[in-house]
Structure 1
Amino acid sequence: MQGASRNAALTDSAKRWLVISLIGGILLGFGHKIERLGYQSYLKDQELAATIQMINLRERIEGEVMSRVLSISELAAVISAHPTITQDEYARRTASLIANNPDIISVVAAPDLVVTLVSPIAGNEKVIGLNYRENADQWPQVQAAMRNSDGLMTGPVDLVQGGRGLILRKPVMLDSADATGAPQIWGILSMVINFDAFLKNLKISQVDERYDILIREVSEGAATGQIMLGDVSLLEDMPIMIDFRFPFGHWQLAAVTEGGWPTQRPNFEGRWIFRISMIAILMVGTRLIMQLAQKHKIAESRLSNGIEALDHAFVMFGSNGKIVLHNSKYAQMHNMTKETLTNTTYRDLVTDSVHKGLVPEAIGNEQHWVDNWIDGRGFGHYVTEQHLSDGRIIRTSDKRMPDGSIVGLRIDVSDLKNAQLAAEAANRAKTDFMGVLSHELRTPLTVILGQVRLARNINRLPAPQSLEKAIKAHPETEAEMTPLVDGVWAQIGMMMNMAERSGNHLMTLINEVLDFAKIDSGNLTVDLQPVEVATLVATTVDQLRPLVENKGLSFNIDVQDAQIEADAKRIQQVLINLISNATKFTEEGEVGLRVEALPKVVTFTVYDTGIGIPESEVQQVFEPFHQVDSSASRRHNGTGLGLAISRDIAIAHGGNISLKSEIGKGSAFQLTLPRLDIADVPTGGRASLAAG
């Protein structure tokens, strides 16, 4: 069984871990999907931002290039209208253009493709006389420009003057036509632009800080044309592409973020750490929830099994009064099925039991009892009895909880009740027997004690006196007989004293048994009257002083007078019992009585220097028939009822008796009684009644 239970537990644990692992895997996949979607969105945002930046850059480039194209086209129109333009006129015409565009290095005119006009001349002297047809490096670009009436821009190229430059070429056509009717070509204009200054003017450096840029010419029939700016390998990074449309050709702008497109969003690691942490927390939480659910399931099973295993009927009602839990014994007691009980309310069950007469205390007042039982008691524990038709007695115990639910227990106490009734009957019989026996013993014992007291002074009776007269009538024998007769009288007196002491002891025991019988039966009564404490103590002390002093003990009395409401005889009985016990158990030293009048109570403390009482016996000495030494050979006689009777008398007066004791040092019994609450009663001073 233990192996099977262990295997089942392992299987459940494996299932829980499998579920948790699946949840963790699903959440990780979901987190990856979210991260992927977030990355795609972030990448689109980056592409959009780059596109906007590149469009702005394209507009600036187009503006700058078209400005140069318009300038060179205007110059071409001037030359077309004045083909015989001189150097001076040419310099004058280009001066403002160069002045307004500092990035323009020079503007060169080549009639019949031979450079003859240069502006400015300074620094460009070597260019004059250059025949493009004879220059293998430039002749292809010149031919291409001549074929395109709109011209052509090439570069960047390394300049003779140093640095890099862009060359904008524009063919110049005359207004006249040749023999074929085609426009007659005058020559070509070339504008050399400082490439670095051109880029600076476009503010390319600001864009380069965030993006990698490629500007290229797209040539028909070629995969890649002339590269204006950047590295052609940029095309492998799937850049955004922006097209330029110029009159002289097609350019393309490609761009990616610096170093390439980002492979992940910023704070990628932080987000995954957060996700994994949350998944871990969720998995741990799931594990705890599953453990709690399993424990809850086990607890419910144990509770159900435990309730079902009870020997008594158990039921629990919800705050709405409907049954939420019960065992089979409860259903059997009410002779109802589980379905019927589920639809029955607490009030219905209580009302049904009461109207069937099963609750004796409710008979004749059923509705009021039901209302008071259900609604009138609030929270608490309520107990009653149901007497079923088959003779069983069921103890009904219901407890209303703070949430309004009710927990009930139904216990079959038939055997216990019958045993209780039998025990009560036996106890009453015992008490009655003890009372009758005490009365029957005390009556003859009273006669015996009376006769013993008479016999103690036998020489005063008529017959003994007649005997003495007869002896005196014979003088010859009087001297001899008189001592003998006196000895007989003395021996008889001694025997009667012993018999009287034993009889008095027996009378005390009988009185104690009779008092205990009255207390046990509830018939002990006290006659409460105002009593002066000093008078009560004086009477008791006078009676007991010979007993104490004959044992060689000091008898110390310290009394503060006051007035109490008490039965004087009963309080005197208590004091006599306490002082007698103190004397009995003290061999040397003292016995004392100290009375203190406090604002609300009066305390009577009887103390001694006797053998003391063990701490383990302090609480038991007031129990009936209990004796510290209960062996048959004990040194001190008694029934063990005196302290029990004294305590009950004190309680009947609204007081009590307490004990403090230490082995070898003595004991102190304190009787506490309420003080009579009369404002004008005079309080006495202390009186010391020492042993005389």
Structure 2
Amino acid sequence: MLNKYKSYLASKAYILLTALALGSVVGIGYSVITLDRDNHLATVRRDLEQDLYTATDQIQLRFFEAILVAKHIENLLTASKEVNEAQISRFVADLQLHNPGVRAVALAPGLVVTHSFPITGNQKTIGLKYWQVPEQMASVAQAYRRQSPIVDGPVPLIQGGAGYILRYPVFLPNPSTNVEQFWGIISIVISADGLLSAQRHDFSDAEQYSFSLREIQASSPLANDVPDDAGPLNARPVTTEFEMLGSTWRATVRPTAGWPSYSPQSPYLLAFVLVLAVILVGVLLIIRSFAAEKESARALLAESIGCLNEGFIAFDDDERLMLVNEKYLEYYPEIGPLIQPGMTIKELLAHSVKNQPDATTVEDENTWIAERLERFRNPGVSFLEAAADNRWLKVTEAKTPHGYTVGISTDVTAEQRALKAAEAADREKTEFLNNVSHELRTPLTVISGRASFLRNSERLPQSKSLAAALENATPADGAVTTAVTSFQRFVSEQSAGIENSAKHMLRLVEDLLDWTRVARGQLELDLARIEVTDLGRTVVEDLRPDAEAKGLTLTYSQDGPAEAMADTIRLKQILYNLISNAIKFTDTGNIHLSIEQLGDQIVFSVADTGCGIAQDDLERVFQRFQQVDGSMSRQKGGLGLGLAIAEQLAVLHGGALSLESELGKGSTFRLTLTRAEAAFQRTG
């Protein structure tokens, strides 16, 4: 139930994480798109504002040119007091050449339009009385009151469309009064589109831009002081104010279709945000998949560990407990309730030390914890640990590549009990063999000794007395003497057989005794510096009769005096075993013992021309109670201990015993010992 609840919370947490991640991406994307839109809008407005400044400069220039033309006309009127139509036409034509937006230049002496240049298209304005047109009279009156030019507009034009009119009041001097007298008005009509020439942004194109120019501080009732730049940035037009002919004018412009809602990069940014969101969702799905696989693997691992029939425990690289199965808790019931994930190995050992029978003092407890902690941090071979209910656990610990430490506790109580039983049985067997060997050796020694007496019965005092009695008997009977001699010969022959068998059995008993000492580690060497070449010669001389009895040749060679640190008796025993073994398994040919000095080593080689040993059986010959061929064992006799004892004795001497053999061609045993000088140098 707890795992299901955790899994449910984990799934909900993943959904919440996904929602937060997507929300963050969408929010950041929206902020980026909005910021990009605002920057683009600011750039567009800045470009329009710069062009608007240029446009207002152009407007002022247009009206300045118009004022110059009106001034020229005023000068003509002042000079001649008559309208020079030809010259004025040239002025107007030149003005239109530079300013194509000029629709007409009208002269209105006494406020009645009498002339309009060019006349084409302006015939309807001839005869216009300004006082009859209130829309135009206001600006005329304002120019009259100011006695300076003013601009009126935008106003509907009689010629059609909308435009702006420069009202230039003309005052001519009166010679009789020497005071300037109001002559009339020069009106220069400029269409609204004509004020602007094409820039980067053609403000005269009504399909693209909505442009307006108006006076904001004029006394005319048509003036409007309400600003156009109120409201949010994306709704306000671009506005600039400037001074022209004593009045403040405001020029505004905005795109006809409205300000751009998005920048040209917005679709790409939106696509990027969408791709990023898709990638993020994909990454989250992959992470979720990996997390699910990891959780599944963890659950599988936990279930598998729980199913183990062995105790399992795992610590992280900070030595804190990560996993433990029920079997482990079952093995340690006294501390099982105290084991919690997250506890350190030191805390666990502090609980465990209370159950250690060998730790009786605080110092013992601290020592045990320190040793156990060192073994935990540097795991090596498995070790045994006592557990509850007189059980034994084999603890195996190892470090993982990530620095974790895992431990497996296996109940080996049955194996330990079986091992102890086997050891006890082996001890009993060894003791039995030892006792039997001791018991057998005494009567066998007696039998061998008695047999040796009987083997030389003619030398016995009793035999000599019998021979003397037969010689002194009369009359001497040759048949009796022959019979007695024959009987003594028979006794000697039978005694020889008994003696040989007794010696053989005695050697078997000696082998058993030696092996029990080796097995129990009770065999000690009496090492001394000895001359080995004489020892080898003595062994060969002792065993040559046995070889010659089988028709074999036993030879010996050496390359000079050599000394070794060895036990004389045990070294002889090795050589006796090797040569006796060669005699036993060689039917024809020869046996040769050689002693060679190779550097710091002395090599004893026993080579024979016997039956040889197959390569697959070479290792078996040094095992106890083993012979290569069971049938041969029955033929040749022996317990199969000679070579095993010889190898153990060689090891005790610090040397080695090796074998080279080829089936049907013979064998060579090599005993390698260290020279006495080299042995002293090593020990020194």
Is TM > 0.5 for Structure 1 vs Structure 2? yes
Amino acid of the residue matched to residue 451 of structure 1? R
Q: Does structure 2 retain, via aligned residues, the 8 Å contact 1:146–1:171? A: no
- For 1:235, the equivalent position in structure 2 comes to none
Q: Does structure 2 retain, via aligned residues, the 8 Å contact 1:313–1:410? A: no
Alignment of 1:355-366 (within 5 A): 358-359=357-358, 366=361
Distance 1:325 1:260, change over 3 A: closer
Q: For 1:374, which of 369, 390, 398 is the aligned residue?
A: 369
CA shift digits 1:93-121 (9 cap, x unpaired): 9599969x95569896443556576xxxx
Q: Does structure 2 retain, via aligned residues, the 8 Å contact 1:577–1:642? A: yes
Q: Does structure 2 retain, via aligned residues, the 8 Å contact 1:166–1:195? A: no
- For 1:606, the equivalent position in structure 2 comes to 606
Q: Which runs of 5+ in 2 are unaligned?
A: 141-150, 173-181, 215-233
Q: Which runs of 5+ in 1 are unaligned?
A: 1-7, 118-126, 159-164, 177-182, 220-237, 682-692
- The CA deviation at 1:573 is 0.7
Q: Identity over the aligned pairs, expressed in percent?
A: 22
What is the root-mean-square deviation of aligned Cα atoms in Å?
A: 5.5
> TM-score normalised to the size of structure 2?
0.70
* Secondary structure of residue in 2 paired with 1:621: helix
Amino acid of the residue matched to residue 352 of structure 1? K
Give the Cα separation in 2 of the matches to 1:401 and 1:262: 60
Q: How many correspondences in the alignment?
A: 608
> TM-score normalised to the size of structure 1?
0.69
CA shift digits 1:494-549 (9 cap, x unpaired): 33333332222112112112222333344433222221011111111112233345
Q: For 2:122, which of 132, 150, 164 is the aligned residue?
A: 132
Q: Does structure 1 retain, via aligned residues, the 8 Å contact 2:73–2:88? A: no
Q: Does structure 1 retain, via aligned residues, the 8 Å contact 2:584–2:636? A: yes
Q: For 2:51, which of 46, 53, 57 is the aligned residue?
A: 57
- For 2:667, the equivalent position in structure 1 comes to 667
Give the Cα separation in 1 of the matches to 2:312 and 2:7: 36
Give the Cα separation in 2 of the matches to 1:54 and 1:564: 114
- For 1:42, the equivalent position in structure 2 comes to 36
Alignment of 1:521-560 (within 5 A): 521-553=520-552, 555-560=554-559
Q: Does structure 2 retain, via aligned residues, the 8 Å contact 1:315–1:409? A: no
Amino acid of the residue matched to residue 55 of structure 1? E
- For 2:567, the equivalent position in structure 1 comes to 567
* Secondary structure of residue in 2 paired with 1:634: helix
- The CA deviation at 1:576 is 0.9
Amino acid of the residue matched to residue 542 of structure 1? E
Give the Cα separation in 1 of the matches to 2:404 and 2:365: 17
Q: Does structure 2 retain, via aligned residues, the 8 Å contact 1:313–1:411? A: no
- The CA deviation at 1:639 is 0.6
Distance 1:501 1:373, change over 3 A: same
CA shift digits 1:595-618 (9 cap, x unpaired): 333454433233334333344443
Distance 1:493 1:38, change over 3 A: same
CA shift digits 1:147-176 (9 cap, x unpaired): 8643557999x9xxxxxx998654555669
Give the Cα separation in 1 of the matches to 2:352 and 2:13: 48
Q: Does structure 2 retain, via aligned residues, the 8 Å contact 1:612–1:666? A: yes
Q: Does structure 2 retain, via aligned residues, the 8 Å contact 1:155–1:166? A: yes
Give the Cα separation in 2 of the matches to 1:316 and 1:194: 87
Amino acid of the residue matched to residue 214 of structure 1? Y
Give the Cα separation in 2 of the matches to 1:248 and 1:327: 94
Give the Cα separation in 2 of the matches to 1:106 and 1:401: 98
- For 1:509, the equivalent position in structure 2 comes to 508
Alignment of 1:291-690 (within 5 A): 291-306=293-308, 309-310=309-310, 325=324, 327=326, 335=334, 338=337, 345-346=347-348, 348-349=350-351, 352-353=354-355, 358-359=357-358, 366-375=361-370, 379-380=374-375, 392=390, 409=409, 413=413, 423-461=422-460, 466=466, 470=470, 478=478, 487-553=486-552, 555-560=554-559, 561-630=561-630, 634-677=634-677
Q: Does structure 2 retain, via aligned residues, the 8 Å contact 1:212–1:257? A: no
Amino acid of the residue matched to residue 623 of structure 1? Q
Distance 1:340 1:571, change over 3 A: closer
Alignment of 1:132-151 (within 5 A): 132-134=122-124, 149=140, 150-151=151-152
Distance 1:667 1:213, change over 3 A: farther
Distance 1:377 1:59, change over 3 A: same
* Secondary structure of residue in 1 paired with 2:667: strand
Amino acid of the residue matched to residue 50 of structure 1? V
- The CA deviation at 1:59 is 1.8
Distance 1:506 1:296, change over 3 A: same
Aligned pair 1:66/2:66, yes or no? no
Amino acid of the residue matched to residue 285 of structure 2? M
Distance 1:427 1:305, change over 3 A: closer
Give the Cα separation in 1 of the matches to 2:629 and 2:664: 16
Amino acid of the residue matched to residue 437 of structure 1? V
